[in-house]
Structure 1
Amino acid sequence: MKTLPIVQIQTTPSLLSIDADPGQYSIRQPKAEVQLNTRPAKLTVESHPITLHVDQSKAFSAYNGGNMVDLNARIYSGIQQQFLQNIANRVQQGNDLAAIHRPGNTVANIVGMDWKPQPFPETRTPASVDNVDIRIDTRPPNINFQPAVSELNVIVNKPEIEYQRGKLDIYVKQYASVQYTPPAIDMGL
């Protein structure tokens, strides 16, 4: 019996080589910038001067008669009153002379009493503690207050991100192969 020749097949697998280094992240974020502006509080007080009003016109009128218009008015009024009083006295004297028959109504008694001079009318007003008027005018101060104001401004800086790629090398370390080995042929038949 004869055997069939056997063909040998030998295979080699392919080998891939992968050399990889991971990538690297670099993250950096600058600090935030903070700006704080504060306007201080402001208090303004405006005070008004005190006004003092002193009216001494009544006191001057009691001392020396006051102004000329009022002084002349008092003199005129006083002379008018004295004139009317003198007329009344003369009428009374005339009535007393007409009644001479009464005892004590003699011409010497009637006319002898009329020797005193009449005083000049009073040119001054009566003196009083209320002759000086004092008035004080005050006004409240103007107060203006402005509160303090703070302004906060924050500038946030974005993060700076950098990425450096890693290395990736893929190569064939061994190629696949198929090797056929034929059987030995016996030529000696």
Structure 2
Amino acid sequence: MTLPIPQIQIQSVSGRIGIQSQSGQYEIRQTPATIDIQTTDTVIDIQTEQPVVIIDMTKTRNALSGGKPEAFWNRIYSSYQDCAIRYIQRTVQEYNQIGDLTAGGNPVADVAKQSLSQQDLKLNVFGPAAYDNVDFQAIISKPEVNVQVGRADINVKVNKPDIQYNRGSVNVYMEQYASVTITPPIIDLTY
């Protein structure tokens, strides 16, 4: 007869540790930086002279009234030379016409008739009448510019931050204790 082998029963329960934590918190406060700005304006000094305009109306006066007496008489004298040359040319042309024996008719009468219809030569004692008889000359001086550059002085005062730290917490506890249960064998001694 075989007897059963008694067995021991062992039961174990694991332990459990519970942890609860709360984070720490930073509290930061900082006032804005203080800025102090002082400026100096730019100064511009400009010195200029009035422009000078020179108007020459000599040609206009010469055309209207003959101009200054000296210039007027000089033009008359120089015109006489031109006028004398033109009269000489006309006279030579007339005598050439009279002396031409090949021409028919009465050359002396023809020349006399032509001289009646011819205009007298004019003396140029006045200046020419033109649209540009007035001369302008402008004298413009460059301006003298002095610049004193302004500036800005900037002072910045940085305010330190106020930092506070509130600590967190960690709570460690036993959620379940470990245990071992041993059940001894039951031995039946009756036979």
Task: Say which one has the larger Rg.
Answer: 1
TM-score under structure 1 length normalisation:
0.48
